[in-house]
Structure formats: structure tokens, C-alpha cells
Structure 1
Amino acid sequence: MNSEDFDVLAHCAAWARDESPVVLATVVKTWGSSPRPEGAMLCIRGDGRVVGSVSGGCIEDDLIARFKRSESRPVRPEIVEYGVTADEARRFGLPCGGTIRLVLEPVSSESKIAALFEAVARGELIARTLDLRTGASSLRRASAAEAVTLVGNVLTTIHGPRYRMLVIGAGQLSRYFCEIARGLDYQITVCDPRDDYADDWQVAGSRLSREMPDDLVLQMRLDARCAVVALTHDPKLDDLALMEALRTPAFYVGALGSRRNNAMRRERLREFDLTEWQIARLRGPAGIYIGSKTPAEIAVSILAEVTAAKNGVDLADAMRVPAAKARLDDPSHFTAACSIAASAHL
């Protein structure tokens, strides 16, 4: 679930609480190219005010025009499709003749949107089921592997953070890093047993732990939807945590520091009986080269690499695509850029 969809739930709950007529549109199926994924939401108030998006184009305009007219609002959940024909695809701005199927739901107390929003705000991952025949819904805890489904007359949508982020260190860089990561919808845990850093930690949307990082790694039971980033520059805190993290399926394990410092770190990790394959998983220096100098820019560079890893993008290949700058088309320039990135993260 991304920040836009969280905002949709917040507005939907507030508008319904004010007893305004509200319709929630949810993408449940797409064919061909679609600008919005399944599960994307749009909330429409009776006066035409909207938040969210289901297509990024004319479908929103059509829905707004429709629901401004009270006689056109659904009285119970219904399914609609846009882009079934080539003419409709052109009319609604759908690329490549794409088709979008939506569920339109008039929001009521039975929708449980307020309870859903409160659970998601607490960082919980929630499955919401909607009976299209009655409009009644129910909430339960979900697993990260679940997805949007429409089976018969029952729609199930998943809401809340699907990915977890463990940040080791509560310094200045970590503040910028966590503020951006929050916008990327990670469930963030910051670990720092040092009072001088932890006492002043105040970043909304993050949980602070004062335990030793390696102990916390074991407690969190990291899975393939987890990322670990060590930002302390202190081997006593970073190394043992990285050792444990590299044994897990975490999709990203990275550490701040120069190439020299990370080479020394890899040598230390070899003393912990890690395999060469496990050590090779360490992203160090963490981040991609963007000429970063300030803590905020370094945070962006690291999170760009984390995002690429999450999305299965090989950055070396991505930097050599035709649309990239000519200097980066040459692998030798890419290697040189990585060397510069190392010095930037000292």
C-alpha cells in the first residue's frame, strides 16, 4: 500500500464521518497496459471532490461527473469496466487498448473504513473483505503474500505496509533516510543502543529499539520482504547485525562506508563463518552514484538502490539502456562512478 492509498482511506473515513455521500472505487482487475495497479483506490465525495486515482486520466473525470448526480450514485457495490472497446480505450486515455475493472462501493458504517484506517495507521497489515450483495465488510490480519481477489461476490483487498525496514543507527543520516522511507511505505524499525543518539530520536512513523542490533535482527525474523541498512560507522554495532542479516532471505542488506571500509568489513565477516555467497550479498558502499554530498542526498542514493533491489532491477543494466546518458552507457564509466560513490559516503 502506498502513501496515496493511505491518504484515500484517511479522507474516506473523514468524509463518511461527516455524513457526506462517499463512493470508494477500487481497481480489481486490469488487462493490457494500465497506469494504476490492482488495489489502487479513488474516493469521491458527493460534491465531486476526489482523492486517489484509478487511471490517472479521464476515468476519474467520468466518475466525478457521474457521482455529482445523486441519481447516478450506486446504492450497493457494483462492478464497472472501462476500455472494453478500442473507442472507449481512446476516450478514457487507456494505453494499448487496456481495460480496467472497478468495484464502486457506497461507503457506510458497514464498510468499516474508519476501523481499517486506524489499523493501517498503527502499521498493521489488514485484509478487508466486501460482500458485493450486501455491502457488509469485515477486517482481519493479512499476510504479505496476499493480493487483491474478487471471487464470486466477495472482494478482498490488502491494506498496510508489506515491507519492513531495519535501520541500524539513529544519527542525522538516519533521520533523512527514515523520513523518505516512510513515504515509500516501509514499516520502519530504528535500532541504536547508544543513549546519545536514541534519546533524541523523534521521527514519526518509526519504532525505536535500544537493543543490540544483532539481537534485534534475530527477533525480527527477517524474510524476503525486509531490508537492513547499517548507518552507524561503528563495527561493534554494524558487523554482528550484518552477519545475522546476511544469513536471512532479506532482499537488501547494505552498509554505509567507503569501498576500503567495506572491504575491511567483508574480511571481518569472513571470520564469522559466512559463506562467500552470503558475504557477496552485502551492498557496500550502500547506494548508487548520484553525486551525493549531504545526508539527505546520501539517503536518496541508498533508497534508490533499495528500491531497485525490491523491484528486481539490475542497476548495471539499467544504467546502460539507450535512454541513459552516453557516459553511463559505457561500463567503464559506470565502474568509475561507483568508485566515486564510495568516497562520497565516507
Structure 2
Amino acid sequence: MQTTELSVLSQVHHWLSTQQPVYLITVLKTWGSAPRPVGSLLAINAQGELIGSVSGGCVEGDILERVLQGEFKQVSRLRYGVTKEQSERFGLPCGGILELLLEPLQHVEQVAPAVQALKNRQLIQRNVDLRTGQITWKIPQKDSALSYDETHFSQVYGATWQLLIIGAAQASHYLASFALPLGYHVIICDPRVEYASSWQVEGTEFTQQMPDDAVLHYIKDARSAVVALTHDPKLDDMALLEALNSPAFYVGALGSKQSTEARRSRLQELGITPQALEKLHAPVGLPIGSRTPPEIAIAILAEMMAIRANLLNQAQGKIQLLRQCVAA
């Protein structure tokens, strides 16, 4: 399954390649309650077809109506939900305000580099001059939050989130199935022939590499997670030895408290430092009383979502703090 960004931008690329003008809308900023986060995308073609979302309410309908009426000839910034009447009209939560960037696009080159970067899990920065609409591209050194001011807009695309699952047992089926619609590229690693032959979750990638080799091959950045679910120390520990020293934002392992303590002791004996062990989430998942495979999968993804959101909030907070320092 493609991520939301890739789905929207791929469709934009297709429309532009068939000579259809496209309007790309990006969430710049939100105040109060907002249904879609900063960076969310919506695209509308000249025939009124839509892909993506910026509100989940009536904002999309209003923008579509204005697009079809030919209102937008150049880059525009829009605000919705400024008044109580607007909030009620456009279906925004109480107190929610959206600031949006709308860009009329004509050429595939205006999105092609981002599509390629997303497909390759590479970072690329799209910069827009809000006065002229001119787009330039840059290879950034690291991921960063969306930023803008009165004259310029910048957004980094690429490095889609990925999840490496060690083991192809029943819990892995549910974890993979639930992770796909959350925007993860899911890789299953299991060198055991009997499990490889029964894997049937469409949209996932399967590898029979040894777990440590799989971690080294796939886990290159902080938009990656590793979850070990085999219950076999020979396989799980191999993956954890590499994952705990990797840039992955989340490393988890299935097991009881007793087996987790035994695992921690083994990993320390194998050279993992106490600092690296602090990265291990085990027993894996939020403690919500999960027992069945689908419940375990939900607990794992809930914990991953909480950690991922906190990382993104920290990054956005640093950007905001930097802006305040510069303004002062």
C-alpha cells in the first residue's frame, strides 16, 4: 500500500502527464482541534476529481467549488474556521482553524522529484516562492518539519515510514495488516521455510534473510521500526542485536516479563550496552490487557503511534522555538 503522500502525488503526476491542470492543497498550520495534521495533502483536477484530504469535512467541497469557478489563478493561502459560523459551516471541530496553501500546477516536473523520492525512501525538499509560484528542489541533510513565511514555503518529502517484522506467525499477520493503512511499508523477515510458504498479506514485502542481515539491509533511518515476534531467541535476538544500535525510532520484542528479563540478560552478555537496552520495548506494546493476536497487534501499533507522534511534536516544537529566537 502506498503512503498518503505518495498516493496523492502519484495521482497528481498522472493528471499532469495527461495535460490536466491540478490544484495541490497543503495544510500549513492548524489552531485548536483539527482533523488533519500539518503537511496533509489534497489534490483536485480541472474535472473536479479529488484525492487526499485536508479536513475530513466540508472544506474540500468549498475548495472544489471555488476551483471549478476558476477563482484561483496563482498560489494562494486560505483560512477556514476563523469564525464560529465558518467552523459550523465547514464541519471543523470546535475552535479548529486551518491555514492552507493552494498551488495551481501545470507540469509534471512540479511534483516528479517528490514522487521518485517517496518511492525510493529518499529525502527531497520542495521549495515554493509564494510570490511567483516557482518551485525549486534540494536534497536535505536530514528530515525536517514543514516551514513557511510570507514569501517562501518548504516541505521535505521522502523516507516513508517502514516496519520490519521478525517472524511470520499469526500476530505478524494482524500487525502487518493494521500497519499498512497507517502508512507503513511493511517488511516481513522469516528464514523458516514453513512460515514463508504461508505468508499471504497483500501489499507487504517478504524476505528470507537472516534477521540481523535484514535489519542491516532495511533499517537506515529514524522513520523505521523493528518488532520481533518469533518467540525464538535465536531469531529475535539476532535482530535485536542490530536493531538496538540502529537509528530505528521503535524496537520491540514479544514475550512475558520473565522472558523479557532473560532476553535483556542475554543481550547484555552479547555486548549490548545498558543505554541501548533502554530503547527496547518489551514486553512489546501498550499494557492494555491484550492477549489475542489482533489485540497484541493493536497494542504494538498504539505504542508506536504514541512514540512517533511525540518525535514529530518534538521536531515541530524545535522549529517553532527557532522561529521565535530569530524573530526576537
**How many angstroms apart in 2 are the aligned matches of 1:170 and 1:223?**
23
Q: Matches of residues 86-97 of structure 1 in structure 2 within 5 Å?
A: 87-97=85-95
Which residue is 2:285 aligned to? Answer: 287
Aligned with 1:130: secondary structure? strand
Which protein shows a greater Rg?
1
Q: Which amino acid aligns with 2:59?
A: I
Residues 165-187 of structure 1: per-residue CA shift (max 9 Å, x gap): 33223445434423332322234
**How many angstroms apart in 1 are the aligned matches of 2:310 and 2:21?**
42
Q: CA deviation at 1:68?
A: 2.1
56-65 or 242-251, which moves further after superposition?
242-251
**1:231 counterpart (218, 229, 233):** 229
Which residue is 2:74 aligned to? Answer: 76
Which residue is 2:11 aligned to? Answer: 11
Which residue is 1:49 aligned to? Answer: 49
Which residue is 2:167 aligned to? Answer: 169
Q: Which amino acid aligns with 1:242?
A: L
Q: Which amino acid aligns with 2:309?
A: N
Q: Matches of residues 99-178 of structure 1 in structure 2 within 5 Å?
A: 99-109=97-107, 112-142=110-140, 145-178=143-176
Q: CA deviation at 1:301?
A: 3.0
Aligned with 2:42: secondary structure? strand
Which residue is 2:316 aligned to? Answer: none
**How many angstroms apart in 2 are the aligned matches of 1:296 and 1:107?**
43
Which residue is 1:66 aligned to? Answer: 66
Q: Which amino acid aligns with 2:16?
A: A
Distance of aligned partners of 1:311 and 1:76 in 2 relative to their CA distance in 1, 3 Å threshold: closer
Which residue is 1:212 aligned to? Answer: 210
Q: Which amino acid aligns with 1:185?
A: G
Q: CA deviation at 1:146?
A: 1.3
2:182 maps to 1:184: yes
Residues 230-251 of structure 1: per-residue CA shift (max 9 Å, x gap): 1222211211331333345543
Which residue is 2:326 aligned to? Answer: none
**How many angstroms apart in 1 are the aligned matches of 2:224 and 2:120?**
18
Residues 199-243 of structure 1: per-residue CA shift (max 9 Å, x gap): 776756545454433344456565544322112222112113313
Could you tell me the TM-score, scaled by structure 1's length? Answer: 0.73
**How many angstroms apart in 1 are the aligned matches of 2:198 and 2:177?**
15
Residues 83-104 of structure 1: per-residue CA shift (max 9 Å, x gap): 4445544543444544322221
Could you tell me the TM-score, scaled by structure 2's length? Answer: 0.77
Q: CA deviation at 1:281?
A: 4.1
Residue ranges of structure 1 left out of the alignment (5+ in a row) = 314-346
**How many angstroms apart in 2 are the aligned matches of 1:120 and 1:127?**
11
Q: CA deviation at 1:162?
A: 4.3
Q: Which amino acid aligns with 1:65?
A: E
**Contact 1:130–1:136 (CA under 8 A) maintained in structure 2:** yes
Q: CA deviation at 1:27?
A: 1.4
**Contact 1:123–1:187 (CA under 8 A) maintained in structure 2:** no
Aligned with 1:311: secondary structure? helix
Q: Which amino acid aligns with 1:55?
A: S
Distance of aligned partners of 1:139 and 1:87 in 2 relative to their CA distance in 1, 3 Å threshold: same
Distance of aligned partners of 1:168 and 1:121 in 2 relative to their CA distance in 1, 3 Å threshold: same
Distance of aligned partners of 1:48 and 1:18 in 2 relative to their CA distance in 1, 3 Å threshold: same
**Contact 2:212–2:238 (CA under 8 A) maintained in structure 1:** yes
**How many angstroms apart in 1 are the aligned matches of 2:81 and 2:124?**
31
Which residue is 2:255 aligned to? Answer: 257
**How many angstroms apart in 2 are the aligned matches of 1:184 and 1:173?**
17
**How many angstroms apart in 2 are the aligned matches of 1:19 and 1:208?**
38
Q: Which amino acid aligns with 1:41?
A: L
Distance of aligned partners of 1:37 and 1:9 in 2 relative to their CA distance in 1, 3 Å threshold: same
Q: Which amino acid aligns with 2:99?
A: R
118-127 or 36-45, which moves further after superposition?
118-127
**How many angstroms apart in 2 are the aligned matches of 1:222 and 1:257?**
26
**Aligned-pair identity (%):** 43
**Contact 2:22–2:43 (CA under 8 A) maintained in structure 1:** yes
Distance of aligned partners of 1:291 and 1:298 in 2 relative to their CA distance in 1, 3 Å threshold: closer
Which residue is 1:23 aligned to? Answer: 23
Aligned with 1:24: secondary structure? strand
Which residue is 2:322 aligned to? Answer: none
**Contact 1:178–1:203 (CA under 8 A) maintained in structure 2:** yes
**How many angstroms apart in 2 are the aligned matches of 1:275 and 1:119?**
35
**Contact 1:161–1:185 (CA under 8 A) maintained in structure 2:** no
Distance of aligned partners of 1:122 and 1:251 in 2 relative to their CA distance in 1, 3 Å threshold: closer
Residue ranges of structure 2 left out of the alignment (5+ in a row) = 312-328
Q: Which amino acid aligns with 1:307?
A: M
Aligned with 1:36: secondary structure? coil
